[in-house]
Chain A
Amino acid sequence: DAKTTQPTSMDCAEGRAANLPCNHSTISGNEYVYWYRQIHSQGPQYIIHGLKNNETNEMASLIITEDRKSSTLILPHATLRDTAVYYCIVSRKTSYDKVIFGPGTSLSVIP
Chain B
Amino acid sequence: NAGVMQNPRHLVRRRGQEARLRCSPMKGHSHVYWYRQLPEEGLKFMVYLQKENIIDESGMPKERFSAEFPKEGPSILRIQQVVRGDSAAYFCASSLEGAGTDTQYFGPGTRLTVL
Interface range, B side: 20 to 34
Asked if A104 meets B48 with Cβ closer than 8 Å, knowing A95-B100, A96-B56, the reply is no
Are A94 and B98 touching (Cβ within 8 A)?
Answer: yes
Are B33 and A43 touching (Cβ within 8 A)?
Answer: no
B109 contacts chain A at the CB level, 8 A cutoff: yes
- Interface of A (DSSP majority class): loop
Are B105 and A91 touching (Cβ within 8 A)?
Answer: no
Asked if A93 meets B59 with Cβ closer than 8 Å, knowing A43-B91, A98-B45, A104-B42, the reply is no
Q: In the assembled complex, how far is the CB of residue B37 from the closest CB belonging to chain A, in whole angstroms?
A: 9
Q: Which residues of B contact A43 (CB under 8 A)?
A: 4, 91, 93, 106-109
Q: Which residues of B contact A101 (CB under 8 A)?
A: 35, 42-45
Distance of A99 Cα from B34 Cα, bound (Å)? 11
B58 contacts chain A at the CB level, 8 A cutoff: yes
In the complex, per-residue mask of B85-105: 1 if CB is within 8 Å of any chain A CB, else 0 = 000010101000111110111
A53 contacts chain B at the CB level, 8 A cutoff: no
Asked if A46 meets B103 with Cβ closer than 8 Å, knowing A96-B56, A98-B59, the reply is yes
Distance of A98 Cα from B55 Cα, bound (Å)? 10
Distance of A44 Cα from B104 Cα, bound (Å)? 9
Would you list the 7 A-B pairs with minimal beta carbon distance, nearest first? Answer: A95-B98, A43-B106, A97-B100, A91-B100, A101-B43, A92-B100, A44-B106
B residues engaging A (CB < 8 A)? 4, 33, 35, 42-45, 48, 55-56, 58-59, 89, 91, 93, 97-101, 103-109
